[in-house]
Structure 1
Amino acid sequence: MSQRVVNVLSFSSYRNLRSKGRLKAPIPRLLRSNEPPSNVEAELVKASILAAEIDASNLEEQLILSSSTNVSIREELALYSEFCAAQRGILSVIRVLPSDILQEIFLRCVDGSEDPRNNKPPFALSQVCVHWRNTALFMPRLWVKIPPIYLTEKKEEITYILFLSEYLRRSGNMPISFHVCSLYKHWINHSALSFLADHSERWDNVSFQISSTTLGNFGFYNDIHGRLASLRRLRLSLWHILLDQNLNMFEIAPKLVDVTVERHYPPSISLPWNQLTVYRNYSYGTGGLTPGGLTSAPNLTILDIVSTEQQLHNTIQPTLSGLKVMKFDFHNPRGSCGSFLTTITAPSLEELRVASYDTRLFPAATLANQVHTLVLRSSCHLRRLAIHEYGQGLSFHDDMMELLRSVPLLEELEVTDLDARSMDSFYHPHLAVLLALKSLVIRVSRQFLLSTGSLNSLGHGRCDPFTEKDIGTVKFSRLEMLCVILTEKCDHLTYQTELEGCNDRTFNPPHGLRNSISNILAEFIFDGELKFQRKSNLNLSLLTRLHKHFCALEKHVGADSRSLQYLYKSRDHVIINQLSQMRRAHDIPGNRKYKFFQRAQALLEKWKNPLKEDLKNRRWMARGKSSLVYVPIDHEMRTSDRALDIVFGMKGTEQDDAYASWPLNGV
């Protein structure tokens, strides 16, 4: 049958598909399943969409010629819109995807995180249609990540054990990942743990947030000891320990290479140190690194330690020949932590991050001196260095200068609370290593806020394009990234307005705009992001204030320079942008009456071109919860589809936010 004949037949039959003002689908059964349409059925669907669009176009013309408030015509147009959307769904490519591509999509839905605490079950994927369910059920890899297990009396019931049994059955014989949590309750016996212990040979990536009593009781040790053939990653977060308890169940695990210990460190735990490549210790209170631990770990490549109250042993002098990344956060340390850095030799070290909060034990000069000793002792070639001394401003004193001279290959530097004098070093030829940097991150606390002039000069002098500059025999190189991270809950958006010169306190805002949306909705803004969680809290008074503010924005804020200055100062455009991107309009309280979602989209459309034209005057972009990034005038982002992110801000990834919250992001 030719396409023309199909179109004619379907178009003529479509005229009979209407009954009492309601549209009927040409192939109704396809609306109740994800079955792919045949070629003839697809043509019928396309023709019905075309005919519906023609009718809708005629109705729109009638609406224009008649009254714009004609309710019956608008309701009929809505019917046509719903009909076309449903029919287009039948033609969606998802219905005809090959099984191997569909399986890959399913895996990408669940493979996002390596942290078992974030495991999400793929139940939604198996409840769409018969085809999807069959595809999901015959994919063992889709079921290897068990949802977090919280030990309660209810989880003792047989129904939950049957659930775990079915989950493991669907995963076939593949290694499994899980997280077990029991806060502030010791368990002498629990059927969920016993069930998991019976399958310990399949453990791959596991996490325990429990007490050592729960971990070591009810024969759990005997059930898993020597039966961890697949275990690769282990996270222990022990909120209570017994000092005389031996935890040796993990000492025989031939594939274990990645271990994280949080909170309390068990003094008598045994780990296969000789095979570990990643070790993280975020513990406090009692315990610490065992004296022989590091000397028995020649294969370590990443060592990450947060020391809050524990004493780090420095009676040994380990050589970690394969270590490439080392992070130390000394938070109010006691005892011999001060010389711990100088006991380690790491000839392959490329990244070192050190932070200290106790300026009495670790004044800035001393910390820089300790790092310098480590570098000289190891003869390593650092490429990334982060050195933080909180509670005092950092200046490039003699020890710091000596340290920087010992790392000529340094590409990335991160420091805290630089003084104005040290800022000059980044574009004057005191140190060749500073002039060759590719990345500079400056953490700024409230009491040491940097001068906006100094930061802007640094950005312009080292990030923007410049002609070849020679000062003596030293050449400048452009910074590929200049980032400022605001600590101690400083408002990075307010600091951004200062850097952009938009925080003029004498500025007189447009009529009716003495307030800002951020102030009106302050209780719903978390880390600069608008989140409605308790709709009942938006009382009538608050909704009325928000409506009046919208009216003032619509009337008085346009494309002129005064309007833009108001937006940058108030940050209204940022909140308006977040409102317009909410997935469902009904998530916005009061939207049915005041149409906040639709009005936000209309305002953005009105401001889009003026904001784009003003991009040449914007240099700093907000990223994540606390970071500002300098955007050079010739950066490719300025001409891309994401150009307006420079003024609206960019949502940081989970990794960005974790990086910004270091140190202590592990505890």
Structure 2
Amino acid sequence: MNPHSFENRPIHPVPRLLSVNDEPTSEEKALVVAAISRAKDEVDSKGRLSKYGKDYKHVGALQTFIREGYSIISPVRRLPVELIREIMIHTAHDPCPDLDNPPYLLGHVCRLWRVASLSIPLLHSTIPHLRLQKYNDTSAFSQHLLQVIPKVPFYSFKLSNLSGPDIHPMANLYFQTSKSWKSAFITADPSALEPKSTRLVRSNVPMLESLRLHVATKRPNSRYAGQCYAFENAPCLREAEIKCSTVFFLKLPWKQLTKYKEHSGRAIGIPLIIFDGNPIEHLTYITAQPSSLLVHINPATLPRLTHLDIRLYHDSSISILPRLTLPSLHNIRVRDPGTTRLFQGIVNLVIRSGNPGAKLNLLRLAIYTQPPKPLELVHLLLHTPHLIDLECNNIPSEDLAQITMLTIRSLPGQPSLIPRLRKLTIYSPSASTFDSINKLIDSRSKKNTPQSDHSPLEVVRLVFADAPTCEEASSALDGVARADNRRAYEDLSGLLTELDVLITSYKSERHQGLVQTLSDWRAGRKLDSLLSALESIKIDDPKLIEVRALSILRKFWLLDSCKIPQESKYHFLRRAHSLLDVWTAAFGDQPNGDRWIRHGLRSLLYLRTRGDEDGCERDLIDGEYKFVDEPTLFWPYEDHPET
């Protein structure tokens, strides 16, 4: 471990509180409060120094001390046991449990919370993720499962690497208790889902509410993956997610589903779920291959559908939009690069779905298709006056100018264009539109719309096809925050990319044993070397730290310690959080004047004017944009998206 990773930190007044979960006494609390006050005064005095003369490592150490002090005296550690139990019971009854962050983690807050969690068996009804291997020892896991299942009325689980036809003993244990399934996430090869392999499950899932089924075909080019009838009689099933790259025959109670997501090579459930009067509310369809089955879909009105997401990753457009009427639609996202008439198709859908005398209450619109013709987008926006969130690829300058003009020159009673728009994302904007984008932002700024009916733009994001294109755009666009020392910036960026790759590998399920212990040792040394390199980088320019840097460190810090090799030896999580405190101090010290900042490898984010009560800095550090979720943000460029 880097011996300097915790230097400059004040000495804690009550050191024992750092190593126990006991509640501090009144005297100890008073000492901690006084120490926090002194540290905050010192941070304030540092803040009055010149921008580039600040010792960010010392400020970060003070912030770490303040954070740890507040956690020790936090009211959360002193809540009444009755209230803690209510919180845990509410979490345990979550209709959509997070299978990667199960509710029993609440017992890790402190000793008091752990004692309370042990008295609530239902809190353990979300079973930890199990990745099956041919030779892995699951006896301890089996004992845990046998202890939990009899004590809870239902349970949720995530099971990976299920293969057949000879089913793994642990999978059989799950199958034998399928009557208690509430939420199931299964990744399996086709043979494990055949009727013979799933006979214990068929017609034996009376409590199943949510199903995620990923069929992992070993031959992606095969024409047939198999069939599964195990879930055709599931009276409580409301949500389903299916992923399969080849033809797969699946029986589900399609008529009762309210949320359905399909990521397939050939259509599986889409032709069966679209019918007149279906109660479906959320519908997502992602495909990389055209399907002739979609041609046979009959015109249908889906009265409850509020969210529609269609992403076609091929050039043969077989759009189902002309067959749909969606009177409750709020959100629509469509990727269809094979058509030249997508804009007009959405206009027709909006007009067809609206009530007589009133336009459809469409709030969010995302489009990725062939480059729009001038004023084609404006024609669509005239029919969506309630829009608050817009995503589109390469909006022409003519459309941007028209939106700007109708904002500046709008008069009372005169039709306006998307007056409520707050978020704008433009994919692959050309350099010729940069000036028009800045003018649009200025026309919708808070100072220019105080008495107007137009809402100020809160978020504007420019997304590019790759990192070099984004770097080129940041050089051409006025007002982009750029580090002066490009060599240091590139070194930091390379280390962050390595750390991000390691985080992805640590998120997968890990197994114990001799080989794993050896790999843990090597991985621990590698991670120690990487974090030490990050700790040694001198942060003398606040612009070195971008949102991506803070985001990657946060993702690492949020990992379970058991998923990080040699954590107890190298104190990785504590070091990462201390480093995060230093970088956050530097990031918050960026000079005024810049209006754009890098938000990931391929994105630029508009910064609202610093000093506004709803300024963007807080969103980037603690709010909505503190994480860079690239798979979601850059969905047009993913050949096989996972979102």
The normalised TM-score by structure 2 is 0.69
Which residue type is aligned with residue 261 of structure 2?
A: R
Q: For residue 294 of structure 1, what is the aligned residue in structure 2?
A: 274
Q: What SS class does the counterpart of residue 386 from structure 1 fall into?
A: strand
Contact 1:484 1:627 in 2 (8 A): yes
Distance in 2 of aligned mates of 1:656 and 1:542: 22
Q: For residue 260 of structure 1, what is the aligned residue in structure 2?
A: 241
Q: For residue 376 of structure 1, what is the aligned residue in structure 2?
A: 351
Question: Once the 2 structures are TM-superposed, how far is the Cα of residue 630 of structure 1 from its aligned partner?
Answer: 4.1
Alpha-carbon distance change, 460 to 43 in structure 1, aligned in 2, over 3 angstroms: closer
Distance in 2 of aligned mates of 1:155 and 1:605: 45
Contact 1:280 1:304 in 2 (8 A): yes
- C-alpha distance after superposition, 1:11-48 (max 9, x if no partner): xxxxxxxxxxxxx999x9x99976668xxxx477689x
Residue 307 in structure 1 maps to residue 287 in structure 2: yes
Question: Once the 2 structures are TM-superposed, how far is the Cα of residue 574 of structure 1 from its aligned partner?
Answer: 6.9
Distance in 1 of aligned mates of 2:197 and 2:502: 46
Question: Once the 2 structures are TM-superposed, how far is the Cα of residue 196 of structure 1 from its aligned partner?
Answer: 1.3
Question: Once the 2 structures are TM-superposed, how far is the Cα of residue 452 of structure 1 from its aligned partner?
Answer: 3.2
Question: Once the 2 structures are TM-superposed, how far is the Cα of residue 530 of structure 1 from its aligned partner?
Answer: 11
Which residue type is aligned with residue 194 of structure 2?
A: G
- C-alpha distance after superposition, 1:507-537 (max 9, x if no partner): 9x6xxx5x44222234212399898997866
Which residue type is aligned with residue 216 of structure 2?
A: W
Residue 178 in structure 1 maps to residue 157 in structure 2: yes
**How high is the sequence identity, in percent, across the aligned residues?**
18
Alpha-carbon distance change, 210 to 413 in structure 1, aligned in 2, over 3 angstroms: same
Question: Once the 2 structures are TM-superposed, how far is the Cα of residue 309 of structure 1 from its aligned partner?
Answer: 0.2
Distance in 1 of aligned mates of 2:397 and 2:299: 39
Q: For residue 404 of structure 1, what is the aligned residue in structure 2?
A: 381
Question: Once the 2 structures are TM-superposed, how far is the Cα of residue 378 of structure 1 from its aligned partner?
Answer: 2.8
Distance in 2 of aligned mates of 1:99 and 1:194: 38
Q: For residue 421 of structure 1, what is the aligned residue in structure 2?
A: 398
Contact 1:274 1:297 in 2 (8 A): no
Alpha-carbon distance change, 338 to 583 in structure 1, aligned in 2, over 3 angstroms: closer
Residue 490 in structure 1 maps to residue 467 in structure 2: yes
Residue 346 in structure 1 maps to residue 319 in structure 2: no
Question: Once the 2 structures are TM-superposed, how far is the Cα of residue 305 of structure 1 from its aligned partner?
Answer: 0.9
Q: For residue 57 of structure 2, what is the aligned residue in structure 1?
A: none
Alpha-carbon distance change, 43 to 599 in structure 1, aligned in 2, over 3 angstroms: closer
Residue 524 in structure 1 maps to residue 484 in structure 2: no
Distance in 1 of aligned mates of 2:106 and 2:417: 52
Residue 274 in structure 1 maps to residue 255 in structure 2: yes
Contact 2:287 2:312 in 1 (8 A): yes
Alpha-carbon distance change, 95 to 283 in structure 1, aligned in 2, over 3 angstroms: closer
Q: For residue 479 of structure 2, what is the aligned residue in structure 1?
A: 501
Residue 136 in structure 1 maps to residue 117 in structure 2: yes
Alpha-carbon distance change, 180 to 450 in structure 1, aligned in 2, over 3 angstroms: farther
Q: How many residues are matched?
A: 550
Residue 457 in structure 1 maps to residue 436 in structure 2: no
Contact 1:228 1:253 in 2 (8 A): yes
Q: 1:660 aligns with which of 624, 629, 633?
A: 633
Q: For residue 176 of structure 2, what is the aligned residue in structure 1?
A: 198
Q: What SS class does the counterpart of residue 250 from structure 2 fall into?
A: coil
- C-alpha distance after superposition, 1:98-122 (max 9, x if no partner): 2123335657998999465514474
Q: How does 1:51-130 map to 2 (within 5 A)?
A: 96-103=78-85, 114=96, 117-120=99-102, 122=104, 125=107, 129=111
Q: For residue 249 of structure 1, what is the aligned residue in structure 2?
A: 230
Moved more, 526-535 or 113-122: 526-535
- C-alpha distance after superposition, 1:323-374 (max 9, x if no partner): 121111121154xx4342111222222222111233xxx12xx111222232
Moved more, 523-532 or 309-318: 523-532
Q: How does 1:381-400 map to 2 (within 5 A)?
A: 381-390=360-369, 392-398=370-376, 400=377
Q: For residue 77 of structure 1, what is the aligned residue in structure 2?
A: none
Q: What SS class does the counterpart of residue 182 from structure 1 fall into?
A: strand
Question: Once the 2 structures are TM-superposed, how far is the Cα of residue 235 of structure 1 from its aligned partner?
Answer: 1.0
Which residue type is aligned with residue 350 of structure 2?
A: V
Question: Once the 2 structures are TM-superposed, how far is the Cα of residue 188 of structure 1 from its aligned partner?
Answer: 2.2
Distance in 2 of aligned mates of 1:259 and 1:421: 43
Which residue type is aligned with residue 294 of structure 1?
A: I
Distance in 2 of aligned mates of 1:655 and 1:575: 6
Which residue type is aligned with residue 191 of structure 2?
A: T
Q: For residue 608 of structure 2, what is the aligned residue in structure 1?
A: 631
Which residue type is aligned with residue 429 of structure 1?
A: L
Alpha-carbon distance change, 481 to 124 in structure 1, aligned in 2, over 3 angstroms: closer
Q: What SS class does the counterpart of residue 177 from structure 1 fall into?
A: strand
Taking only aligned residues, the RMSD between alpha carbons, in angstroms, comes to: 5.2
Alpha-carbon distance change, 280 to 395 in structure 1, aligned in 2, over 3 angstroms: same
Q: What SS class does the counterpart of residue 429 from structure 1 fall into?
A: helix
Question: Once the 2 structures are TM-superposed, how far is the Cα of residue 499 of structure 1 from its aligned partner?
Answer: 4.1
Alpha-carbon distance change, 527 to 403 in structure 1, aligned in 2, over 3 angstroms: farther
Distance in 1 of aligned mates of 2:228 and 2:146: 27
Distance in 2 of aligned mates of 1:344 and 1:186: 40
- C-alpha distance after superposition, 1:136-172 (max 9, x if no partner): 2221231011111212234575443223212324xx2
Q: 2:336 aligns with which of 350, 356, 366?
A: 356
Question: Once the 2 structures are TM-superposed, how far is the Cα of residue 192 of structure 1 from its aligned partner?
Answer: 1.6
Moved more, 233-242 or 618-627: 618-627
Alpha-carbon distance change, 539 to 279 in structure 1, aligned in 2, over 3 angstroms: closer
Alpha-carbon distance change, 153 to 426 in structure 1, aligned in 2, over 3 angstroms: same
Distance in 2 of aligned mates of 1:88 and 1:407: 47
Name which one, 1 or 2, has greater alpha-carbon Rg: 1
Q: For residue 167 of structure 2, what is the aligned residue in structure 1?
A: 189
Q: For residue 236 of structure 1, what is the aligned residue in structure 2?
A: 213
Which residue type is aligned with residue 288 of structure 2?
A: T
Which runs of 5 or more residues in structure 1 are unaligned? 1-23, 54-84, 470-474, 558-566
Contact 2:190 2:225 in 1 (8 A): no
Distance in 2 of aligned mates of 1:161 and 1:122: 18
Which residue type is aligned with residue 490 of structure 2?
A: N
Q: What SS class does the counterpart of residue 407 from structure 1 fall into?
A: coil
Q: 1:319 aligns with which of 281, 296, 301?
A: 301
Q: For residue 204 of structure 2, what is the aligned residue in structure 1?
A: 227
Q: What SS class does the counterpart of residue 122 from structure 2 fall into?
A: helix
Q: For residue 21 of structure 1, what is the aligned residue in structure 2?
A: none
Q: What SS class does the counterpart of residue 413 from structure 1 fall into?
A: strand
Q: What SS class does the counterpart of residue 321 from structure 1 fall into?
A: coil
Distance in 1 of aligned mates of 2:388 and 2:256: 31
Report which structure shows greater RCO (CA 8 Å, sep ≥6).
Answer: 2
Contact 2:187 2:215 in 1 (8 A): yes
Which residue type is aligned with residue 225 of structure 1?
A: R
Which residue type is aligned with residue 496 of structure 2?
A: I
Which runs of 5 or more residues in structure 2 are unaligned? 1-12, 36-66, 408-413, 507-522, 559-565
Distance in 1 of aligned mates of 2:71 and 2:333: 52
Q: For residue 56 of structure 1, what is the aligned residue in structure 2?
A: none
Alpha-carbon distance change, 45 to 243 in structure 1, aligned in 2, over 3 angstroms: closer
- C-alpha distance after superposition, 1:549-570 (max 9, x if no partner): 73xx76xx7xxxxxxxxx54xx
Alpha-carbon distance change, 117 to 624 in structure 1, aligned in 2, over 3 angstroms: farther
Question: Once the 2 structures are TM-superposed, how far is the Cα of residue 635 of structure 1 from its aligned partner?
Answer: 3.1
Distance in 2 of aligned mates of 1:450 and 1:250: 54
Distance in 2 of aligned mates of 1:436 and 1:356: 27
Alpha-carbon distance change, 91 to 666 in structure 1, aligned in 2, over 3 angstroms: closer
Question: Once the 2 structures are TM-superposed, how far is the Cα of residue 251 of structure 1 from its aligned partner?
Answer: 1.7
Question: Once the 2 structures are TM-superposed, how far is the Cα of residue 409 of structure 1 from its aligned partner?
Answer: 3.8
Question: Once the 2 structures are TM-superposed, how far is the Cα of residue 256 of structure 1 from its aligned partner?
Answer: 1.0
Which residue type is aligned with residue 168 of structure 2?
A: H
